[in-house]
Amino acid sequence: MKNFIKENWFKVGLLAILVISVAGAFYWYEWRPRGIKIHCTYSGVERVKENRGNVLDYEFLYKKCLRENGL
């Protein structure tokens, strides 16, 4: 195994960088927005229930939450 890494250190490093970049892109474009949308949905519903609001209040609060969290 040590011989393999010594002979192919550049390929191993390049592969590691590629894997880290793909994982980072997946987090940034898929996982993070999904989490923010889930959070904003629940917080919007809870606030509307507390204040006995209507659908327009929920939509406003949902969009406001998305903007505050960077979407």
The per-residue pLDDT for range 32-65, each reduced to its tens digit, is: 999 999 999 999 888 888 888 777 888 999 999 9
pLDDT of residue 6: 80
Q: Which residue has the higher pLDDT, 57 or 30?
A: 30
Cα 43 to Cα 69: distance, rounded to the nearest angstrom = 12
Instruction: Pick the closest to residue 39 from 18, 3, 68 (CA basis).
Output: 68
Can you tell me whether residue 1 is helix, strand or coil?
coil
Cα 65 to Cα 61: distance, rounded to the nearest angstrom = 6
CB 49 within 8 A of CB 32: no
